A = this chain, B = another copy of it.
Amino acid sequence: MNAALGQFAENGFHSSPISQLAVLAGVGVGTIYRYFKDKDDLIHAVFEKIDENLKEELAESLDTSLPDRSQYIQFISILIRYMNTHTKEFIFMEQYYSSPYGIETKHARFLSSDSGDQSDPIANLFAGTKKAVLKNLPLPIFLAMTFGPVIFLVRDSLSGLVTLDDAVIRQTAEACWNAIKA
C-alpha cells in the first residue's frame, strides 16, 4: 500500500499499472490480487488507511483541555503541517476526492453520518467548538471555512506558490478563527 500510495500520488491512478506497483512493492502481480479484489479495491483501501492515519495523528496531537480559540487554532496548524509534510497522502486525497471514487465515499459517509461516531476526534472538536461559540453558523459553513482554506493553501504550497512557515500558518489559522467566531 505504501508503494501504491507513492505511485498514485506521483503519476495518478491511471498511470500506475498494477505491474509497476508490484515491482515497487517487491511482490508478484498476482499477490496483489490475493489481498485486493481489484484495482479499485486497492485504491479505496489506500484511502481508508490514509484517512485513518490522519485521524490518529489529530487525536494524538490535539490538546482538548485548551480553550476554544487556542484549540481551534492548534487544530488548523496541525492540519496544515500534517498535510504539507505528508505530500503523497495529500495529493492522493485530492485525486481521490476529484474522482468517482471519492464521490461514492462521500455519499456513503453522509448517509451513515446519523450514527454519530463518538470516537471521531474531529467530530468531537467541531461539536465542542460549535456549541461554545458558533451557535448560529451551520455545520457545512463551519467545515468550509475550516478545511477549505487549509486545502487551498497546502495545494499552493505543493505547487511552490507559497512557503508555509510558522508565520503564514499562524496567520491562516487566525483568519479561519475570525471567520467562524461569534
Contacts and interface: CB of A to CB of B under 8 A. Distances in A.
Contact of A99 (B95, B106, B140, B168): B95
Contacts of A149: 141, 144-145, 148-149, 179
A66 interface: no
A156 B35 CA distance: 33
A176 B149 CA distance: 10
B159 A106 contact: yes
Interface string A143-164: 1110111111101100111100
Contacts of A106: 159, 161
A59 B34 CA distance: 48
B141 A175 contact: yes
